[in-house]
Structure 1
């Protein structure tokens, strides 16, 4: 496995997985030499496209960040998901039982993939600035591309700071500065990392609100405002979170809302996870995936629970935890979209019922556009990084925190999500809740809404310490399934800095509780 330091030192030494200059789908096209770069607008587009590529592919051919790797830290290591009994990777199994150590290869891979993406964003930011403006027939393209790269860098640092705490801030391309900051830099504080994230995303709010169809999938100003709102919520900066949410919420829907993006909820919950409805009304920003493009590692691997119509125990990757299925009422359509025990086999015209000790299986990213439905690992279903449902639930949360309890608008926002979940039939939250009870209800709703979408671990951690038990919410939640997550401790609210990075960089200090592990 390559080290991240090598990725940064030699950004053009390996084949770059390029997508077409417009559409954000992968299209390998060969080796690009450094001397050919940064002279034309086409070079600038290619550089930013390479940054987008780090979300849906891996230079070493491993599973993509948003196609599997991040899921192992945010879902497999939560109370929603477990490793499969047939999974032979000891590091995946260790994450599934919270018995991992700093040498865990999947933790290391997440660190590497994020910094590789940051390095690509830095390449674009540093070098596009030097391309003469006369090379751009559209004068808005140059600043737009830089802001897109800043959006990606902000997103990746937001993941890193929540996973690891303070991390090295690498803000320039090593090939232009001659210095590989990741090899010798100390960890910046969490506040410093968040300040940089806010700076990058604030600049990205100047991106276009929409794009032509050929550019579908690129970061927009709405995506930047939405991600900023999530950043401020993570910081418990409720006033700034409210300001950003109001810029995303459609004007006229809530007091102070000024959004002009026309986001909304799909009437059918399952449409948030279908190929035919990619980049639709609810999708604020998604990692783009597609099948049949000639590179397996640019496809979604979260669909790997469906590998055949074999009703026995067959090799799968990660499965749902039985406890999460029980929190759904049968009338909640999210249950059938999130999990399955029955699949229709169009080849035989029969419903195949899976009834073994390891069902239900995770369903959201199974590619049902395949006709007939075929056993799959890769799926072309996009990964929704931010959906409008998230904005509504965050809005309800922020109002509850600012006002010391839920307001009428907080109830309206959460009930919009619940009504959609129950196929348009109102299923309102119990009125008259106090702040604490509404908060509990809100986080339960988030759990139901975002199964397998990389939210649960982050949500548990950001809740902090449960004052009733004196333990982090993460520990309390995972102790419920103690037989599977028996190793959970308070230190697990941050992942360890990967051992190989500490061995490479003596200035890196380990997170508390992980020293010697």
Structure 2
């Protein structure tokens, strides 16, 4: 299914909802200037207008301040897979990536405000749609559509709160429109209270939403599978570790609740329900196809693997669009260089992949594209991410920054691995069902060849380690890893491990002492052919290059030292940097908002 028609509808309805209502924010720093005198009686006077209002809440997911770049490619780094843009402190994206975020950072306030703007828009629909006469006395079709819209708004609000919590922790909680809730200057509510509320909301929404095939719209909108998958994800975070100040008299600590297994049970149950709907959601047999043939081509993934993706409206403006493929990924080096290639794949991550794992060359990219549309090799220290790359998109040579590529919120492989993780935790060892779910993901990663996946661990600790690794191999570059490491209380450990491993690569120490110092490659290869290498990435370099092959200084230890080691996670401190400080503008606007602990 081609998605572009929905993108055009989204642009139209976003404009409509702003014209229909003055969507006031809950605080000064969240306010939206009203542009019309139309009120809720008009906005929620028909099904079509109510739909426009809900789509207006969807709009707060995209654009520069949403998953178009900041929430997807600034806030999610550094982790043990990839590094944000290297360089000196800038009180901007580099400081965010390398854990030196200050309240004055220029990249904090607008995303924070946009997430709360989404909450306000969702709150209006959640509040007013059930009051519509058509909600209870309309035709069966009208009632069904309105209940579905109400449920979509519940899920959207949950997603907005989830993103806020995982970046800022305890928050001011608003569950009514600002026109109804007169207490607009709230202090923080404990995140567990907010989590409990949105988990209940998601349970309610799931019962009202259709499954994918009967929904009648693309997966840019929320269906029952997406709502249940999101509930499973949030339940794991509710039961996971997070940075908490109230649990210790001597300062913030990472802690998880004593009843954490209750939330693993929720995650397991929700994933099991989705897994039973195999005709609705399943893995694409080809890992590459999910990205190359669907997301990067503006097409619906046919197997339902992508349960929900943020719809980005391609165009010349940044409203509701994305910079996927411009900010990240390989660069077009034609008459003028196009693209930032700002995210660096860590050499240690590249070598986490087995040589026959098909996910490696989807996730990691070691080339640029020249003016002749031929591939030019990159050295190991200069690899970039590859799931959203311009040469998998019709706009390879475009000078534009906004490509309209959608951001996947959650995929079915995540459902399988969450199920496996929860089963292991609840039973203190992997059950046959957990192993089957784990191996389904892993086998797909090896092109469907189960003989290559090795033996799955049968003990609790070893299986958990395998889950951590598999989630890294499966979801690299999808904005998941940093937050997984935080909920497992593994962030500091893994960042330090990477630093040790990078030093070992530079020093040519085991287990990296057999890496090739040079790679031989066939020059002038087309995008359709791909890079052709003349030797293995996993063995020392042969003395002689094959005829016709060029030599690339692959290892380049000085490149790792100069580009990566000096920047990677350089300011991270445990029990300090797992959360952002609140934007200074938010603190200034709300006298009851307490600043998160941070280091000036």
Same-fold call, TM cutoff 0.5: yes
Listed as ranges, the matches of 1:335-414 within 5 Å are 335-342=360-367, 348=372, 351-356=374-379, 359-368=382-391, 370-371=393-394, 373-375=396-398, 377-414=401-438
Q: 1:21–1:49: 8 Å Cα contact kept in structure 2?
A: no
Change (3 A) 1:332 1:431: closer
SS in 2 for 1:286: strand
Shift, 1:325, TM fit: 1.7
Q: 2:332–2:338: 8 Å Cα contact kept in structure 1?
A: no
Listed as ranges, the matches of 1:263-342 within 5 Å are 263-273=281-291, 274=294, 275=297, 277-281=299-303, 282-292=305-315, 295-304=317-326, 305=328, 306-309=330-333, 315-342=340-367
What root-mean-square deviation, in Å, do the aligned CA atoms of Structure 1 and Structure 2 show?
3.0
Listed as ranges, the matches of 1:484-503 within 5 Å are 484-490=568-574, 491-503=576-588
SS in 2 for 1:39: coil
Change (3 A) 1:324 1:386: same
Report what 1:232 is aligned to. 235
Report what 1:4 is aligned to. none
Q: 1:461–1:474: 8 Å Cα contact kept in structure 2?
A: no
Listed as ranges, the matches of 1:178-189 within 5 Å are 179=182, 181=184, 184-189=185-190
**Structure 2 CA distance, aligned partners of 1:47 and 1:166?**
28
Please point out which of 215, 220, 225 is paired with 1:222: 225
Q: 1:23–1:214: 8 Å Cα contact kept in structure 2?
A: no
Change (3 A) 1:243 1:37: same
**Structure 2 CA distance, aligned partners of 1:178 and 1:77?**
38
Change (3 A) 1:212 1:92: same
Report what 1:76 is aligned to. 77
Q: 1:22–1:214: 8 Å Cα contact kept in structure 2?
A: no
Q: 1:450–1:456: 8 Å Cα contact kept in structure 2?
A: yes
Shift, 1:314, TM fit: 7.2
Structure 1: segments with no counterpart, 5+ residues: 1-18, 58-62, 251-258
Shift, 1:407, TM fit: 2.3
Structure 2: segments with no counterpart, 5+ residues: 22-37, 240-259, 503-564
Q: 2:206–2:228: 8 Å Cα contact kept in structure 1?
A: yes
Deviates more, 1:405-414 or 1:192-201: 405-414
Listed as ranges, the matches of 1:140-159 within 5 Å are 140-159=144-163
User: Do residues 243 (structure 1) and 283 (structure 2) align?
Assistant: no
**Structure 1 CA distance, aligned partners of 2:309 and 2:224?**
14
Please point out which of 447, 450, 463 is paired with 2:475: 450
Aligned pair count reads 473
SS in 2 for 1:486: coil
SS in 2 for 1:384: strand
What is the TM-score when the length of structure 1 is the normalising length?
0.83
SS in 1 for 2:312: coil
Q: 1:122–1:149: 8 Å Cα contact kept in structure 2?
A: yes
Deviates more, 1:371-380 or 1:381-390: 371-380
Larger Rg: 2
Q: 1:367–1:380: 8 Å Cα contact kept in structure 2?
A: no
Change (3 A) 1:378 1:87: farther
Report what 1:167 is aligned to. 171
Report what 2:461 is aligned to. 436
List per-residue Cα deviations over 1:215-261 (Å, max 9, x = no partner).
552211111111111122221422222111111112xxxxxxxx365
User: Do residues 191 (structure 1) and 195 (structure 2) align?
Assistant: no
Report what 1:94 is aligned to. 95
**Structure 2 CA distance, aligned partners of 1:358 and 1:87?**
18
Listed as ranges, the matches of 1:132-143 within 5 Å are 132-133=133-134, 138-143=142-147
List per-residue Cα deviations over 1:264-308 (Å, max 9, x = no partner).
11111122223254343201111112424x534433212123442
**Structure 1 CA distance, aligned partners of 2:112 and 2:75?**
14
Q: 1:65–1:110: 8 Å Cα contact kept in structure 2?
A: yes
Report what 1:32 is aligned to. 19
SS in 1 for 2:314: coil
Change (3 A) 1:21 1:431: closer
**Structure 1 CA distance, aligned partners of 2:129 and 2:6?**
15
**Structure 2 CA distance, aligned partners of 1:40 and 1:64?**
31
Shift, 1:502, TM fit: 1.7
Q: 1:290–1:298: 8 Å Cα contact kept in structure 2?
A: yes
Report what 2:514 is aligned to. none
SS in 2 for 1:365: coil
**Structure 1 CA distance, aligned partners of 2:72 and 2:382?**
19
**Structure 2 CA distance, aligned partners of 1:291 and 1:312?**
21
Change (3 A) 1:277 1:371: closer
SS in 2 for 1:201: helix
**Structure 2 CA distance, aligned partners of 1:276 and 1:312?**
24
Shift, 1:213, TM fit: 4.4
Q: 2:88–2:94: 8 Å Cα contact kept in structure 1?
A: yes
